Structure 1
Amino acid sequence: MAKKKFFIAGTDTDVGKTLIACGLLEKARQQGLRTAAIKPVAAGCEETPDGLRNSDALALQAAMTSEFDYSEVNPVALRSAIAPHIAAQQEGRVLSAARLAGYCQGLFMAPADLLLVEGAGGWRVPLNPRENLSQLAQELQLPVVLVVGMKLGCLNHALLTAEAIQRDGLVLAGWVANRVDPDMNCYEENVATLKGLLKAPCLGEVPHLAEADAVVAAQYLSLEPLLGED
């Protein structure tokens, strides 16, 4: 099959981008597809004997079928769990969409059927005074998979993000309802509203999981709208 590449975006931070990305990678693995993923910039890394490590990037590394060094999966690792441009400033580093795109292009050379680029935070997270992380997706011209964190306020966040993706000239390839708030009122009604208003297929509804588990998440996801086959 032709190589498929997608940018994984979220309606906010902590909405489950990594869980859904890993679920999609696991679903693809179960279907015999080769996978690779990259989180080009991660803010919130722990010092280890091997260097700075980010839990999201490690999860992607574990979920993909391709073997890459950590530095290839997460080329820009920042210590503080804050907005990436502020974390970079604290470390005397400069982020740019072009440089991050270069890291992604390197990974795109992998012999994989499905390649995912996971963003950081929401769509308009700044990289520097002039660029947002959304410009990385534009630079790469990737269709977008939007992870909607199902909680109070998600309708506004989802619709504004979808509007921004379209305004940026990119395709919203699909979206996932990830129930981050297990006690969300009128969950079904909110999902139905999004299904009616978002002009993209729903790839699945992932229930609230006490612990992030890609294998469990994969049970609730479909790759068919993305790959054209199931």
Structure 2
Amino acid sequence: MRKRYFIAGTDTDVGKTKVSEMLLTRAGQLGLSTLGLKPVAAGAEQIDDHWSNEDARALMAASSVKLDYAQVNPVLLKQPIAPHIAAHQEQKRLSVQTVSGYCRGTFMTTQADFVLVEGAGGWRVPLNFNETLADVAKDLQLDVILVVGMKLGCLNHALLTAEAIERDGLKLAGWIANCIDPEMAVRNENIQTLQRMLRAPLIGVLPYQNEGEDAPENWVNPAIFA
């Protein structure tokens, strides 16, 4: 049975890509074929005469199914700013229909057991003045995994985002506590608070990692892959 999830974050810079990498890696260790997609990315650099996004490259490296860059990241915007503003500066038009169409095309032409579609920023990041990236998850009818960056203020962000996901009619399959601040006070108490208040299971706690450090093998509940 194939599993597909939309990876959402409580904010920008909460570690959606790192968590996605770790999920893809763990799924691969369990014998599943894997694919990570970043349909919209804002922020690019030129490498060997080609523009690309760091997060998209990371997902490609962590995926066992190898695709061309344009299939993984069909909408690449050069400036690391809100996608709808970056698109306007480049005279491009973003829409749910277009972004969802790219994803559906990839779903139809590739066979992977475990697929992640990573969003950009938080849940309500605009694609244009009428649509947001949340509408892509809705259009594709994907269950959502919420990445909570464990830092001061995360409780409010997590509760509001979970509420928005539920109001949009999507299933919050679970949430992951990503320990991005090694000096966060009362981190465990914050995690426990969210466990009591979020109507979705805690499926993993990703410890703070130094550069090049691997995550512990058992950091995530394997039920998310089944």
Shift of 1:227: 3.2
Q: Separation in 1 of the partners of 2:65 and 2:129?
A: 35
- For 1:46, the equivalent position in structure 2 comes to 45
Cα distance per residue 1:28-76 (max 9 Å; x no partner): 0000101111100100110222421111000000001001001111111
- For 2:19, the equivalent position in structure 1 comes to 20
- For 1:204, the equivalent position in structure 2 comes to 204
Structure 1 contact 20–217 (Cα < 8 Å) conserved = no
- For 1:221, the equivalent position in structure 2 comes to 220
Q: How do residues 140-155 of structure 1 correspond to structure 2 at under 5 angstroms?
A: 140-155=140-155
Cα distance per residue 1:140-176 (max 9 Å; x no partner): 0000000000000000000000000000000000100
Q: Which amino acid is 1:37 matched to?
A: G
Structure 2 contact 204–221 (Cα < 8 Å) conserved = yes
- For 1:8, the equivalent position in structure 2 comes to 7
Structure 1 contact 19–212 (Cα < 8 Å) conserved = no
Is 1:177–2:177 an aligned residue pair? yes
- For 2:82, the equivalent position in structure 1 comes to 83
Q: 1:94 to 1:218 in 2, by over 3 A?
A: farther
Structure 2 contact 27–225 (Cα < 8 Å) conserved = no
Q: Separation in 2 of the partners of 1:151 and 1:55?
A: 23
Q: 1:90 to 1:161 in 2, by over 3 A?
A: same
Q: Separation in 2 of the partners of 1:99 and 1:211?
A: 36
Q: Separation in 2 of the partners of 1:81 and 1:140?
A: 25
Q: Separation in 2 of the partners of 1:189 and 1:125?
A: 29
Structure 1: tracts of 5 or more residues without a match: none
Q: 1:87 to 1:218 in 2, by over 3 A?
A: farther
- For 2:32, the equivalent position in structure 1 comes to 33
Q: Separation in 2 of the partners of 1:202 and 1:19?
A: 17
Query: What's the % identity of the aligned pairs?
Result: 55
Structure 2 contact 207–215 (Cα < 8 Å) conserved = no
Shift of 1:218: 5.4
Q: Separation in 1 of the partners of 2:63 and 2:49?
A: 20
Structure 2: tracts of 5 or more residues without a match: none
Q: Separation in 2 of the partners of 1:37 and 1:102?
A: 16
CA RMSD, Structure 1 to Structure 2 (Å): 1.3
Q: Which amino acid is 1:186 matched to?
A: V
Aligned length: 225
Q: Which amino acid is 1:207 matched to?
A: P
TM-score (ref. length: structure 1): 0.94
Structure 1 contact 23–221 (Cα < 8 Å) conserved = no
Q: Separation in 2 of the partners of 1:153 and 1:203?
A: 21
- For 1:190, the equivalent position in structure 2 comes to 190
